[in-house]
Amino acid sequence: MLLIPIDKMLSLKYSDMVPLKCDGCQQDFQRIQKQVKSDYKLKSHLKHFCSSKCQGILKKKTYVNLTCYLCKTHFSLIPSEFEKRSKKTSKLCCSKQCANKINIHRSEETRKKVSETLKRKYAEGFIIHPKAIKNKAPYICSFCSKEFISKKKRSTCSKECYKNLLPSIGRKGGRVTSSLEFHKRNRSSNEKMFFTKIKEIYPDAIANKRLFDGWDADIVIPSQKLAIHWNGVWHYKSVMGNELLERVQQKDKLRYEAIEKHGYRNYIIQDLGPMNQEKVAKEYVDFLQNVKEQFHTQ
């Protein structure tokens, strides 16, 4: 339920928060104007919900009440989801974190048994099934330097070693996939225009590269030891909920600390509006005054 007139809502900026009342639990909450405006273009009398749970209660969905196998917390599933999970395993969990802990524990025990059996058979020279001896060779773990045998070529002996190896080689957070072409569409138009201007005075400037223990920056200037962050509205306002805002701000804090450990300086730019060439030009002038002149005087 919209708490302000539609005309006033349409006159707000796209990044402003619109007060709403949940049609399910009748609690007040806020949502970004751009999202509310797009909803009203589709349906003028659209209902608003603060969560998917309130939406499901209003539609009178039936749920199956369960208890997590690992942490013993109570949760609920829709019948179709419950049937899918119950066919795969009887140990149902409330989240992927709890399920991964159980699966890692079981897979590690099985892997150790298989690895020891294959190693003993390989040493004794017994004939094994062709599927078992296919591509069978002793490997050395890249993390713990332990020798193990596997049917497929792997760099680590277990999932624990693999997780411990990722931060040390700088692949945390999807380092490989971040360089793909389809990930570049997430950059705003203002950021692209600003990067073009920076590229004219610093040819060595690069964009969106994970150079700091898996963390990246929007623009990195190696010659000046400078990392520029073009932060949008989701870094400061709860566009998609408070939980997402807390995760984004926590990531930003860790990113800034990792960059400073490598001897780089952080330069943060706030962009709370749509595409605007005047905004980019103003930020470019401020950058020249606040940063470039300091480097030339040193």
Burial class (CB in 10 A: 0-12, 13-18, 19+), 242: exposed
Amino acid identity of residue 177, one-letter, is T
Determine the pLDDT at residue 175: 46
Q: What is the pLDDT of residue 148?
A: 79
Q: What is the pLDDT of residue 269?
A: 92
What end-to-end distance do the CA atoms of the chain give, in Å?
Answer: 58
Residue 140 to residues 58, 124, 157, Cα–Cα distance (Å): 57, 20, 8
Confidence of residue 194 (pLDDT cuts 50, 70, 90): very high
- How does pLDDT run across 13-63, given as a tens digit for each residue? 877 888 888 877 888 888 888 777 777 766 656 777 777 777 776 666 677
Q: Which residues in 49-136 belong to E strands, given as ranges?
A: 64-67, 74-77
Tell me the domain boundaries of the chain. Answer: 6-58, 64-94, 101-169, 184-297
Beta bridge partners of 154: none
* Residue 211, pLDDT score: 85
Architecture per CATH, 184-297:
3-Layer(aba) Sandwich (3.40)
Q: What is the DSSP string of 112-141?
A: HHHHHHHHHHHHHT----HHHHTT-EEEE-
The larger pLDDT score, comparing residue 255 to residue 179, is at 255
- Residue 251 confidence (pLDDT) above 70: yes
Look up the pTM and report it: 0.43
Rounded Cα–Cα distance for residues 87 and 84 (Å): 5
